[in-house]
Amino acid sequence: MTEINQTLELLIGRWDFVLISIVFFVAFLFFIPFKKKVNWRTHGAYTAFIIALFAEMFGFPLTIFFISSYFGRIGFQNEFLNYMNSTGMPIGFIITGIGLLLVIVGWRPIHEAKEDLVTKGVYSYLRHPQYLGFILVTLGWLIHWPTIPTAAMWPILVVMYYMLAKKEEKEMKERFGDKYLQYIKKVPMFIPRVFNRGKQSA
């Protein structure tokens, strides 16, 4: 019980950690080209998720205390910390790391291509690697430190990025015509094909 209380005491009230974590993960939004107003709305939802997450993780763990009142304070806290250390943290960090990598590697081809259609590199596997990256970043943190607000927000965030991707694809079809239609036939939107890579664009 002493170890549990000490662990929670180390996590609670560290608003400096809250600020640092928010700034770090929101900074990855600068890897996205802000050309459309809808981007701000969708990425604003991502920012809200990050704020809600770290405010509970290092600020005030409202979800832990709320659920503890129903299931027994020490019992639930013990189970939660055991889950976080044994399962949530390692799995969550791996998923978050993959997401961050997708955001980063997806930025350079777009930046270098300027106004051309990008179909090489990570874009030969996925049409929207950066949006998938943000979805995975938030999923990883949700697995690492599940809370009531973030659990409610995550499905909404996924839908918003999906709708944003569909809107941008409509514009790309109008802009690049058959070239983009052929690209869509070869490359999936979010889930890469493990087999039949020969049918995808180089």
List the chain pLDDT tens, one digit each, 202 residues: 444 445 555 556 677 888 898 999 998 888 776 544 556 778 888 999 999 888 887 776 666 665 665 555 556 667 777 888 888 889 999 999 999 999 999 988 887 777 788 888 999 999 999 999 999 999 999 999 888 889 999 999 999 999 999 998 998 999 899 999 999 999 999 998 765 554 443 3
User: What CATH code would you report for 2-199?
Assistant: 1.20.120
Contact 56, 63 (CB under 8 A): yes
Distance, CA of 17 to CA of 14 (rounded, Å): 5
Question: Do 118 and 109 form a contact (C-beta atoms < 8 A)?
Answer: yes
